[in-house]
A and B are shown apart, each in its own frame.
Chain A
């Protein structure tokens, strides 16, 4: 996998989590600005999805292709799911949902790289 892309996406994702955490501390609901940042993260996960799918044919034999693709799809589903679930919440808990999503993305990226190197 492309380590640069994964690193950039992880940094972006943690940054999103930190911004959302600031929202929680400041007692602000998930507004358009925060959801815009989540949209940016979504874009990043879609780039990762496309890149991952494009590289799949050149994967080693011991890579679990199906699981790898499921993880890619799951990764790209996290930001929109979080935005949808956070949007209806009038309290700062909506931003809390974004914190969780921002921390989940690097974890999934880590799993993707383990899978790519032939791990389970």
Chain B
């Protein structure tokens, strides 16, 4: 049975901690937005909710053992990368689409561009800890 390196040890631990912070922040932000002012800016707020789900998936996928969770992490980090690039570009190109910011607006500039760096770090970590068949 090929074994993969644990994703939760070493620098993976720091990565998971950062993902967990984003998961909590994005969940809090989007629940509040959707609960109190959903009709103000439905598109960005729906995207905030998607971002929250992606961050939760990435956190769990990286933190939990097993190949199933590894696939969750791949999917979440991949979606995150596409999300931050597409939403980042759209938010710069068409500001009318985004009356309010999401975590991915302007490539995550509001969060020190961490949302842009994070998926690269996540994917790189998944690649480094991938299954190696001896």
Q: Answer yes or no: are A and B bound together in one complex.
A: yes
The chain A residues found within 8 Å of chain B, CB to CB, are 66-67, 70, 74, 81-82, 85-86, 89-91, 93-94, 96-97, 99-101, 104
A-B contact count (CB 8 A): 37
Interface size class of B (residues with CB under 8 A): 10 to 19
Q: How far is the CA of A60 from the CA of B11 in the complex (A)?
A: 43
Give the chain A neighbours of B32 by CB distance below 8 A. Answer: 66-67
Q: Could you say which of A67, A86, A91 contacts B10, with CB atoms under 8 Å apart?
A: A91
The chain B residues found within 8 Å of chain A, CB to CB, are 9-14, 16-18, 20-21, 24, 28, 32
Give the chain A neighbours of B21 by CB distance below 8 A. Answer: 100, 104
Give the chain B neighbours of A96 by CB distance below 8 A. Answer: 11, 13-14
Give the chain A neighbours of B20 by CB distance below 8 A. Answer: 81
- Beta-carbon nearest neighbor of B63 in chain A: A85
Q: Could you say which of A67, A81, A94 contacts B13, with CB atoms under 8 Å apart?
A: A94
B18 contacts A93, C-beta separation under 8 Å: no
Given contacts A89-B9, A91-B9, contact A82 B17 (CB under 8 A): yes
Q: How far is the CA of A66 from the CA of B13 in the complex (A)?
A: 31
For the residues of B in contact with A, the DSSP-based class is: helix
A97 contacts B28, C-beta separation under 8 Å: no
Give the chain A neighbours of B13 by CB distance below 8 A. Answer: 85-86, 89, 93-94, 96-97
Q: Provide 21 A-B residue pairs closer than 8 Å at the C-beta atoms, listed in order of the A residue.
A: A66-B32, A70-B28, A74-B24, A82-B17, A85-B16, A85-B17, A86-B13, A89-B13, A90-B9, A93-B12, A93-B13, A93-B14, A94-B13, A96-B11, A96-B13, A96-B14, A97-B13, A97-B14, A99-B14, A100-B18, A101-B17
Give the chain B neighbours of A66 by CB distance below 8 A. Answer: 32
Chain A nearest Cβ from B125, distance in angstroms: 11
- Beta-carbon nearest neighbor of A88 in chain B: B13
A93 contacts B24, C-beta separation under 8 Å: no
Q: How far is the CA of A42 from the CA of B95 in the complex (A)?
A: 40
